[in-house]
A and B are shown apart, each in its own frame.
Chain A
């Protein structure tokens, strides 16, 4: 099978030169650092803006995957980088990126050159700037979509790349875009988010949200602009960024995100100030987005040529396959097609990790079955966006060989976990072993399917990289006098019904936490009404019965 080039954004000479020059610039910065011309303090913001963190044991390089879209050619390069410069694996993240945990500083310029050769980079994947923009991972494929959000995401990517006014913001800034009523991009937990909507007149435009976030002070985003015309969107975003850059707090990094400013000013005042800036920028005219530019970018993301006359039924291929279809296969807009989720969550594995060999096999699946394309999801899974239903059994069989065929998308073992104390400098507790422990406890597939949709999210510290506030069951690792404890939070959601989980009470030890989760789940199984997900039952009953059950054993 030869390499298939999917319909996605392709660099022209300008993009290519931009990334090449940026790579050369960083190479120089690394040389200055190695020669001692830059102190670590001075080097830090520069390397961060190129995706390079200093972690607990080593540097970590975070590579941008704009809005989660990867071609098979890029996937093969990501596999190559893992093999050549790292320990043979990479880690897909909750921001649809991939990160490498063991690169050497001297190798990083070469890695960036390799990435540039497949139109990739690590620009603005960290640092106090506008981060790599994320989008609905079913973009361009799902049946419920108003419009593909990726063209806008690409336009935002370009506008925000080395934006001279916004590279030294008070704090990091995350933007997500979605084009469907079902929110798969966790819009309401972002600093800013754009939802493609239709107004009463049937015209498509953008609803802009501001001030969502996790961390130690979680907030659900509020509406900044109910309906922003398409041509105005960059002017509107720039206006909001300016208000934030001017007034966001810089005296305390825990109060520096735009969520804090939004709540300090109040959303009305925030809107007033943004409107004032927006009116001026719009009048200036040079940030207006002409329709022909939108059309030009949109053309890159044209739907593939779908086969017609395909059978619309999914073939029979046994019980395991049927289970996988139930959880991992989703409705596609084209008849005879489906979207397939590859969960990187086989019980016992590190959530989101893939080896070079696994990445290469996935690249082959992409070429053979999904027009050369895959998506990274914020739940640390991969998605084959355009597969023929008749090919699903063959795809499933191949995934089984990879040990990536768990029928658990959206189920209790499809756990999000941050890298935690195994890798991270900030963490107070380990996350990965807890995810593994819980996944193994619930590994029985019939039981998982019996429990149904249940999202567990685990963070190893208050910074909430594992999205614990948004978990139906959230777990937060804390350190008490050198011992790891795990607090439970219930009732969070990162979807269109977004909510912040409620803290249950004192934490559990690493040996108790999986059992406590099980007792909570058992309450749900006993008390649920027909059709209720865990989240629905929790919302109906409140914390009390779950809390009683969770601590039962501790009281004894």
Chain B
């Protein structure tokens, strides 16, 4: 079983994941990039929240201008060593100006959550043993950062300059 941590709290997952050949249920759905591209018009006409799940080899730029009409982009970690989604999240936030939910799904480690948070993820699909206190600890193990990222956190250089 998995659960969702979103914006720092346990959250209900309202999106129903739909495989490429299944009928669409009412309400919020999470579809693949292929299905979104194929059924783009009818999906957007539904006027319900739409999420797209990207595989680690799928650049979010493939969503084009439609990205602003999505409310969720789920980025897949097929294996925790595959770090492409760190760049995809950064691009979603910084280049594409995406303000919806970016959710980490798949095989990632506790020790990667802070990096994910920094590059723009704000939701995590975690296994049952992964608790909110663990999540909060992951974000606070390192107080300061050396480089700017999508989280807008002040860098050590800026903190030095402000002293």
> Interface of A with B (CB < 8 Å)?
12, 14-15, 17-18, 21-22, 24-25, 28-29, 42, 45-46, 128, 158-169, 242, 245-246, 250, 280, 284, 286-287, 293
Please name 14 pairs of A and B residues whose Cβ atoms are closer than 8 Å in the assembled complex, sorted by A: A14-B159, A14-B160, A21-B142, A25-B142, A45-B80, A45-B81, A158-B157, A161-B146, A163-B146, A164-B118, A167-B83, A168-B80, A168-B82, A250-B82
Measured between beta carbons, the chain B residues less than 8 angstroms from A293 are 157, 161
Q: Would you give the 0/1 interface string for B134-163, flagging 1 where the beta carbon is closer than 8 Å to chain A?
A: 000000011111111100000111011100
Most buried by B among A21, A246, A293: A246
Of all chain B residues, the one with the shortest Cβ separation from A168 is B83
Known A14-B156, A45-B80, A162-B145; judge A167-B109 contact (CB<8 A).
no
Of all chain A residues, the one with the shortest Cβ separation from B117 is A164
Of all chain A residues, the one with the shortest Cβ separation from B152 is A286
CA distance A128 to B157 in the complex (A): 25
> Is the beta-carbon distance between B90 and A165 smaller than 8 angstroms?
yes
Most buried by A among B59, B84, B95: B84
Q: Would you give the 0/1 interface string for B108-132, flagging 1 where the beta carbon is closer than 8 Å to chain A?
A: 0101101110110000000000000
Known A164-B118, A165-B119; judge A246-B145 contact (CB<8 A).
no
Measured between beta carbons, the chain A residues less than 8 angstroms from B86 are 164-168, 245
> Is the beta-carbon distance between A17 and B144 smaller than 8 angstroms?
yes
Measured between beta carbons, the chain B residues less than 8 angstroms from A128 are 81, 83
Known A46-B111, A167-B115, A245-B87; judge A18-B159 contact (CB<8 A).
no
CA distance A42 to B143 in the complex (A): 24
CA distance A286 to B151 in the complex (A): 12
How far apart are A283's CB and chain B's nearest CB, in angstroms? 10
Q: Which residue of B81, B116, B142 is within 8 Å of A18 (Cβ)?
A: B142
Measured between beta carbons, the chain A residues less than 8 angstroms from B148 are 286-287
Known A164-B114, A165-B90, A165-B149; judge A14-B144 contact (CB<8 A).
yes
CA distance A160 to B147 in the complex (A): 8
Measured between beta carbons, the chain B residues less than 8 angstroms from A18 are 142-144, 146, 156
Of all chain B residues, the one with the shortest Cβ separation from A170 is B83
Known A12-B160, A284-B94; judge A29-B111 contact (CB<8 A).
yes
Q: How large is the interface on B (under 10, 10 to 19, 20 to 34, 35 or more residues)?
A: 35 or more
Which 9 pairs show the lowest CB-CB distances between chains A and B? A168-B83, A164-B118, A164-B115, A286-B148, A14-B156, A158-B146, A165-B86, A25-B141, A245-B87
Measured between beta carbons, the chain A residues less than 8 angstroms from B142 are 18, 21-22, 25, 162
Measured between beta carbons, the chain B residues less than 8 angstroms from A163 are 146-147
CA distance A14 to B144 in the complex (A): 7
Of all chain B residues, the one with the shortest Cβ separation from A15 is B156
Beyond contacts A14-B156, A25-B141, A164-B115: 14 other A-B pairs, Cβ-Cβ < 8 A, are: A14-B144, A15-B156, A18-B142, A18-B143, A18-B144, A21-B141, A164-B145, A165-B115, A167-B86, A167-B115, A168-B82, A250-B84, A280-B94, A286-B155
Measured between beta carbons, the chain A residues less than 8 angstroms from B94 are 280, 284
Most buried by B among A14, A24, A166: A14
Of all chain B residues, the one with the shortest Cβ separation from A45 is B81
How far apart are A52's CB and chain B's nearest CB, in angstroms? 14
Of all chain B residues, the one with the shortest Cβ separation from A163 is B147
CA distance A282 to B81 in the complex (A): 29
Of all chain A residues, the one with the shortest Cβ separation from B95 is A280
CA distance A348 to B29 in the complex (A): 70
Of all chain B residues, the one with the shortest Cβ separation from A49 is B111
CA distance A164 to B152 in the complex (A): 13
Measured between beta carbons, the chain B residues less than 8 angstroms from A169 are 83
CA distance A242 to B82 in the complex (A): 14
Q: Which residue of B87, B112, B115, B156 is within 8 Å of A246 (Cβ)?
A: B87
> Is the beta-carbon distance between A162 and B82 smaller than 8 angstroms?
no
Known A25-B141, A159-B146; judge A168-B81 contact (CB<8 A).
yes
Measured between beta carbons, the chain A residues less than 8 angstroms from B115 are 162, 164-165, 167
CA distance A165 to B91 in the complex (A): 11
Measured between beta carbons, the chain A residues less than 8 angstroms from B157 are 158, 293
Measured between beta carbons, the chain A residues less than 8 angstroms from B81 are 45, 128, 168, 250
Measured between beta carbons, the chain A residues less than 8 angstroms from B146 are 18, 158-159, 161-163
Measured between beta carbons, the chain B residues less than 8 angstroms from A250 are 81-82, 84
CA distance A130 to B113 in the complex (A): 19
CA distance A163 to B141 in the complex (A): 15
CA distance A242 to B88 in the complex (A): 10
Most buried by A among B59, B81, B112, B145: B81
Measured between beta carbons, the chain A residues less than 8 angstroms from B90 are 165, 242
How far apart are A273's CB and chain B's nearest CB, in angstroms? 12
> Is the beta-carbon distance between A168 and B141 smaller than 8 angstroms?
no
Measured between beta carbons, the chain B residues less than 8 angstroms from A245 are 83-84, 86-87
Of all chain A residues, the one with the shortest Cβ separation from B157 is A293
CA distance A29 to B141 in the complex (A): 12
CA distance A245 to B90 in the complex (A): 12
Measured between beta carbons, the chain B residues less than 8 angstroms from A29 are 111
CA distance A95 to B74 in the complex (A): 39
Measured between beta carbons, the chain A residues less than 8 angstroms from B87 are 165, 242, 245-246
How far apart are B159's CB and chain A's nearest CB, in angstroms? 6
Q: Which residue of A21, A46, A242 is within 8 Å of B143 (Cβ)?
A: A21
Most buried by A among B59, B112, B157: B157
How far apart are A47's CB and chain B's nearest CB, in angstroms? 11
Measured between beta carbons, the chain A residues less than 8 angstroms from B84 are 245-246, 250
Measured between beta carbons, the chain B residues less than 8 angstroms from A24 are 141
> Is the beta-carbon distance between B160 and A164 smaller than 8 angstroms?
no
CA distance A46 to B115 in the complex (A): 13
Measured between beta carbons, the chain A residues less than 8 angstroms from B143 are 17-18, 21
Of all chain A residues, the one with the shortest Cβ separation from B108 is A168
How far apart are B100's CB and chain A's nearest CB, in angstroms? 20
Measured between beta carbons, the chain A residues less than 8 angstroms from B141 are 21, 24-25, 28
